[in-house]
Each structure stands twice: as structure tokens, then as C-alpha cells.
Amino acid sequence: MEATIYNQSGKETGKITLPESIFGVPWNGDMVHQVVTSMNTSVRKPVAHTKTRGEVSGGGKKPWQQKGTGRARHGSTRSPIWVGGGVAHGPRNDKNFDRKVNKKTKAKALFAILSRKVHDGEVLFVDTLEVSDGKTATAKGIVQNLSGIKGYEGLFSKKKNAAYVALSKKDKMVERSFGNFSNYEIEEVRNMNPVDVLQYKYVIITKPEEALSFLGGKMKADKKK
């Protein structure tokens, strides 16, 4: 499987052979759903919090004696069945929502998503992305150039979640230049994950040789341990 490499002016500069282990993975919706759901759950920060009967102030004294009154027995006015009492089975902000995701499973889900996007013509390979002045106008010009490539017109016209840009390494100038684009996400390729990639229509990978080498190492990392 071959793909075309472009420069930031939208011109072809060469070809690259895409490894089947990354871009030839069959779609597995169940696995992708499991990974994405687990990752979203793990970053959940609960806010709602209720107090149990042991945390509500007061209620230390028994309301009335155990026997002889004809009324039901009660040991505290802070029981959940009393007005002003604690809450039973309510939301707690100390609940742990973390869910473990195996590294290999996470990598396979990422590769399945990239494979689907390549098949749908939504992955663009750019040899390099350079912005020397860090200006938004420069980034706008680059986007216009890339949107001139057949099949990638949405890079400029799509208002929401247009593209996820994976850089080979951190570049402050590129991040500053694209900082005013709410529909673009600039991130290092080492931080690429299924949740972020799924949120965007297109994926732009810069310096593809280095990027594919790093992505290929995701499946080999556990073997060395």
C-alpha cells in the first residue's frame, strides 16, 4: 500500500509505503468502543458528592426509647429514611472510575482507526510543517494549500473538528500559529491516541518516515520487558 507525500504548499514530493501492520488492520468496532469508553471513563472527575449517615452532623442521641412507645424503633435521626438524614447510595466524589487498558489493545485500536481513515482518504502525509513567524495568517495559508489537494477540501471548509496534526516532535511555532484554530489539534505523534484521532475528520502526519517508525514501535515495546 502506497501513499503520496505532500509539502505544506500542497505539492507532491514523493511516495511512501504504508506498513500493513499499521494501516492494514481490519476494523473491530467492539474493540475500539471498549478502548475509547475505558479511556474516557478513566479521565472522569466526579464532582457530585453526598454525605452518608455517618457524615451528617447530629443524630447521636436515640430519638426515643426502644420499646413501650408503640412507634417504630430508631437509633438515629440521621438515618436515610429521615428528613435531614444521610443519603444512601448517592454519588460520591471519591469513587474511582479508572479502567485499565492494555498497551497493545490501545495500539491495535489506534491502528484500526488509522486503517479505516486511510481507506476513506482521510489521512494526509506531509513531509514537514514549518512556521518561522508563528502567525495565524501563515497557518491559514498552509491550510488553504493543503485543502487544494483532491479529497481534502474539508481541511479549510469544515468548521468543527477538521484535522488532527501529528508532529514528529514538539514545535512551539507551529502550535502558536495554529493556536487560534479551534477545529485543529496540534500534538506530537507519540501522544496520538484513539480518543483524539476519532474526534477529527482528517489526520495530518508530518515526517511520515519517523512517525511510522515510532508507531510501529508501539507494538514492540512490551516484548522488550
Using the 8-state DSSP alphabet, how is residue 67 labeled?
Answer: S
What's the mean per-residue pLDDT of the chain? 92
DSSP per-residue letters across 136-175: HHHHHHHHHHHHTSTT-THHHH--SS-EEEEESS--HHHH
pLDDT value, residue 18: 94
pLDDT value, residue 59: 86
How far is Cα 94 from Cα 64, in angstroms, rounded to an integer? 34
Q: What share of the chain is helix, strand, coil (3-state, %, to 5)?
A: 35, 15, 50
Confidence of residue 221 (pLDDT cuts 50, 70, 90): low
Consecutive H or E run containing 131: none
**What is the average per-residue pLDDT within 139-153?**
94
Which residues neighbour 222 within 8 Å (Cβ) at sequence distance 6 or greater? 103, 104
pLDDT value, residue 225: 45
Q: CATH fold of 2-44+99-224, please? A: Ribosomal Protein L4; Chain: A; (3.40.1370)
pLDDT value, residue 173: 94
Query: In this predicted model, what pLDDT tens digit does every residue of 155-194 receive, in sequence order?
Result: 999 999 999 999 999 999 999 999 999 999 999 999 999 9
Query: In this predicted model, what pLDDT tens digit does every residue of 106-140 receive, in sequence order?
Result: 999 999 999 999 999 999 999 999 998 989 999 99
> How many percent of the chain have pLDDT more than 90?
90
Total Cβ atoms within 10 A of residue 50: 14
Q: Distance between terminal CA atoms of the chain? A: 31
pLDDT value, residue 38: 96
Domain residue extents for the chain: 2-44+99-224, 46-96
Cβ(122)–Cβ(201) below 8 Å: yes
How far is Cα 5 from Cα 51, in angstroms, rounded to an integer? 59
Cβ(74)–Cβ(62) below 8 Å: yes
pLDDT value, residue 137: 95
